Amino acid sequence: MNPDFLNPLANESCSSNPENLTQKEIEALAASIPGWGLDNQAVSKTFSFKGFSQVMGFVNAIAWIAQRQNHHPEITFGYNTVQVKLFTHSKKGLTRNDFICASKIDHLLDNQARS
Whole-number pLDDT of residue 7? 87
98's CB contacts (< 8 A; 6+ apart) are 42, 43, 71, 86, 87, 88
Q: Band of the pLDDT at 67, cuts 50, 70, 90?
A: very high
**pTM listed for this prediction:** 0.90
In this model, does residue 112 exceed pLDDT 90?
no
In the chain, where does DSSP find H-type helix? 23-30, 52-69, 96-114
Structural contact between residues 98 and 87, judged by C-beta atoms closer than 8 angstroms: yes
- Compute the half-sphere exposure of residue 12: CA atoms within 13 Å on the CB side of its CA: 16
Q: Band of the pLDDT at 40, cuts 50, 70, 90?
A: confident
The whole-number average pLDDT for the span 19-37 is: 96
Q: 41-115, what's its fold? A: Gyrase A; domain 2 (3.30.1360)
Compute the distance between CA of residue 95 and CA of residue 21 in angstroms, rounded to an integer. 5
The whole-number average pLDDT for the span 28-50 is: 95
- The domains of the chain are located at 41-115
Compute the distance between CA of residue 76 and CA of residue 60 in angstroms, rounded to an integer. 12
DSSP code of 114? H
